[in-house]
Amino acid sequence: RGTDGPNPVDVHVGQRLRQRRTLLGMSQERLGEAIGLTFQQVQKYERGANRVSASRLYDLARVLDTDLNYFFEDMHDEVARRSPGQLRGLAEPPAPYEAEPDPMAKRETLELVRAYYRIHDPQVRKRLFEMTKALAARSDEIMGREPEDEPAHSESV
């Protein structure tokens, strides 16, 4: 891998691993025990410092109750292009990859999502969702920013 740091694809997979584990409220220790690893090894996977083998990724997907594609979803083309396998033959080495801060990787976001889905009344959840969108739009307006494109809300709130 050289001295340029972890492979960007490994970093992305690690971020998705951490995101899923946190959304499920599972500790690194518990995940490690479920697949026969130490929590330190789970930490290394989550940072992208160690590459996850195909068989290990399969085990992780099973324990985290998701499919293998989950770990590669939302991976920007730039991440794949910076993978060393894609860079062979370039005259100049690329700048080291620095992951763009992902709001979904923040603990605050994950805690918010978990708390939101603990609200059992669909009407209360819908009102909270609409209020949050209105507050975000107002914040954008105050800051002079264009509102971000809203993804379609696929699941009923």
Note the pLDDT of residue 154.
43
Q: In the chain, which residue ranges form alpha helices assigned H by DSSP?
A: 8-23, 28-35, 39-47, 54-63, 77-81, 84-87, 107-117, 122-143
* pLDDT tens-digit series, residues 70-102: 998 888 777 767 766 655 555 455 555 555 566
1: confidence class by pLDDT, cuts 50, 70, 90: very low
Burial code (b: 16+ CB inside 10 Å, e: under 16) for 78-105 equals ebeebeeeeeeeeeeeeeebeeeeeeeb
Least confident of 16-20, 44-48, 94-98, 149-153: 149-153
Least confident of 41-45, 105-109, 147-151: 147-151
Superfamily classification of domain 8-100: lambda repressor-like DNA-binding domains (1.10.260.40)
Residue type, 95: A
Residue ranges per structural domain of the chain: 8-100
